[in-house]
Amino acid sequence: MSKKPSLVADIVTLTSRLPWWVGLLLAVVSYFGLHRLAGVDVPIATKAADAGSMMIWQFARVAGTFLQYLVPLLCVVGAVVSLLSGRRRKALGDEVGSGARVVGDLDWREFERLVGAWFQRRGFSVSETASGADGGVDLYATRDGERVLVQCKHWRARKVGVEPVRELYGVLAASRGAGAYVVTSGEFTKAAREFARGREIQLVDGGELRKALAVPVAAAGRAPASVSGAPVVDSRVERLEPLRVTQAVGAEPQISEQTPACPRCGAAMTRRVARTGARVGQSFWGCSTFPSCRGAREISA
């Protein structure tokens, strides 16, 4: 008896972490699938050896008859929760952006919603995990088929050190994510920022997040603003090669004759090596703010 409420809660929770339209799609698919199971013809056992098979089909038919309405209903409930969560994130982002709320005064759950609101404003579809259960990842943000990993650190009393950043980078390396973000309500240590520099992981502190939310949403048809205020490259613009690159070579990048500026946002570039695609193994200049900006240049002979 205790398993039924748990199963019901699990279905609603799982669906609520998906985009609302996915929940509605699951409701439709589950209804037709279970409805078909409910109408299956149960074979009549003509001998004792067939009795077990008949009982299995009979059980499946009864389960389908009961679940054909319950499962779609739970999926719809989860979709509604997902839709309302998205609206709450947007409302919270507007409040912080207008100055009505302060980042430092939010609790950890509100802070996760705020981070989700920031990604929503940039055109991402946001889904939550079970409180960082997936390798410390709190949110998944997806745009144009590319997914980034997001870890939220609600630390106000102390700075975020290098260890959480290094751990998330390890999770990213083991996944198929396009990049990763660590977002905190406080600040990062110098060691954390040095580790992230040149890698496909970006650090966003509380001040940067508040400033980004205060920027008006970009007009339709234009790329949204990044944390630094520079435009994010539209995904439709052709870019050099896939997102998975090796560690940057050298120390902090500085714009010079040898190290050029990004053609899209003007930031310093860093030398990278393509790990997949037609240019695998070849070096190129990549923007140091990756994955916020994906500007790239060829390395001349």
The pLDDT score that the predictor gives to residue 279 is 62
The answer, yes or no, to whether residue 103 has pLDDT greater than 80, is no
Cis amide leading into 291 (omega within 30): yes
The pLDDT score that the predictor gives to residue 135 is 63
| Token pair listed for 210 | 């508040």
Distance, CA of 136 to CA of 201 (rounded, Å)? 14
Q: How many residues does the structure list for the chain?
A: 301
Provide CB contacts within 8 A for 243, sequence distance 6+: 146, 178, 179, 200, 290, 291, 294
Distance, CA of 21 to CA of 128 (rounded, Å)? 15
pLDDT tens digits along 209-236: 888 877 554 433 333 334 333 333 333 3
Q: Give mean pLDDT, residues 2-27.
A: 78
Annotation: CATH topology of 102-214: Trna Endonuclease; Chain: A, domain 1 (3.40.1350)
The answer for 223, left when phi > 0, alpha when psi is -120 to 50, beta otherwise, is beta
The answer, yes or no, to whether residue 30 has pLDDT greater than 60, is yes
The answer, yes or no, to whether residue 146 has pLDDT greater than 80, is yes
Distance, CA of 122 to CA of 87 (rounded, Å)? 15
Task: Return the domain boundaries, the chain.
Answer: 3-84, 102-214, 233-301
pLDDT tens digits along 260-273: 778 777 777 777 77
CA 177 → CA 70, 167, 201, 295, distances in Å? 34, 14, 11, 18
The pLDDT score that the predictor gives to residue 214 is 75
Compare 74 and 88 and report the one with higher pLDDT: 74
- Is the CA virtual torsion 217, 223, 226, 231 positive or negative? negative
Sheet strands (E) in 154-226: 179-184, 201-204
What is the gyration radius of the CA atoms in the chain, in angstroms?
24
Distance, CA of 121 to CA of 129 (rounded, Å)? 20
Using a 10 angstrom Cβ sphere, with 0-12 exposed, 13-18 middle and 19 or more buried, the burial of residue 191 is middle
pLDDT tens digits along 47-73: 777 777 778 888 888 888 889 999 999
pLDDT tens digits along 178-205: 889 999 988 899 999 999 988 889 999 8
Of 93-97, 130-134, 184-188, the poorest mean pLDDT is in 130-134
Strand partners, 149: 140, 180
Contact between 279 and 238 under an 8 Å Cβ cutoff? The reply is no
The pLDDT score that the predictor gives to residue 263 is 76
The pTM of this model reads 0.56
Contact between 105 and 140 under an 8 Å Cβ cutoff? The reply is no
One-letter amino acid at 13 equals T
Contact between 262 and 268 under an 8 Å Cβ cutoff? The reply is yes
